[in-house]
Amino acid sequence: MTPPRYRTDHIHYRTLNAAVSARFWIDVFGATETSRAVVNGHLRVVLDLAGLAVFVEEVPEGTGAPPPAPYLGLEHLALVVDDLDAAVADLTAKGATLARPVSSPRPGVRICFVAAPDGAQVELLERTGG
């Protein structure tokens, strides 16, 4: 029996305000909006982020925010860039803030984390092969 082939389809990004959060992904990371719909009474904005479908979907008022990292479960989204310094300069010029500064956890890898809406973080990753 041939094992199943898995492919990415989408991720869900839960938020209290889908329009505001979607605007962050569009303005800061260059995502494009592909659709909008009301699902179960809440706005869902679907974005294309570097080929990944991101469903930015509102949750009811009073829904708890994630705890500070680290915690169990899916913690963050990582985007790879060719030039981390240029990416940080571009993002901060667009108003983004770093949640954690640039560091090098091991040779050939440089990372930082960008603060996203609702307490989320986006890792930027540069692999230099060193």
CATH number at residue 44: 3.10.180.10
H helices present in 8-116, as ranges:
18-29, 84-93
For residues 10 and 46, membership in a common domain is answered with yes
For residues 53 and 89, membership in a common domain is answered with no
At residue 83, the pLDDT reads 94
User: Domain containing 30: what range?
Assistant: 1-61
Phi, psi angles (nearest 5°) of residue 104: -125, 95
* Range from 4-13, 42-51, 76-85, 119-128 that averages highest in pLDDT: 42-51
For residues 3 and 43, membership in a common domain is answered with yes
For residues 57 and 89, membership in a common domain is answered with no
Q: How many domains does the chain have?
A: 2
* pLDDT above 70 (res 4): no
Rg of the Cα trace of the chain? 16
Across 109-118, average pLDDT: 93
- Whole-angstrom distance, CA of residue 112 vs CA of residue 58: 27
At residue 72, the pLDDT reads 75
Q: Is residue 7 part of a domain?
A: yes
* pLDDT above 90 (res 6): no
- Whole-angstrom distance, CA of residue 31 vs CA of residue 38: 20
Q: Is residue 86 part of a domain?
A: yes
Q: Is residue 70 part of a domain?
A: no
- Whole-angstrom distance, CA of residue 130 vs CA of residue 42: 46
pTM for the model:
0.86
Phi, psi angles (nearest 5°) of residue 94: -90, 0
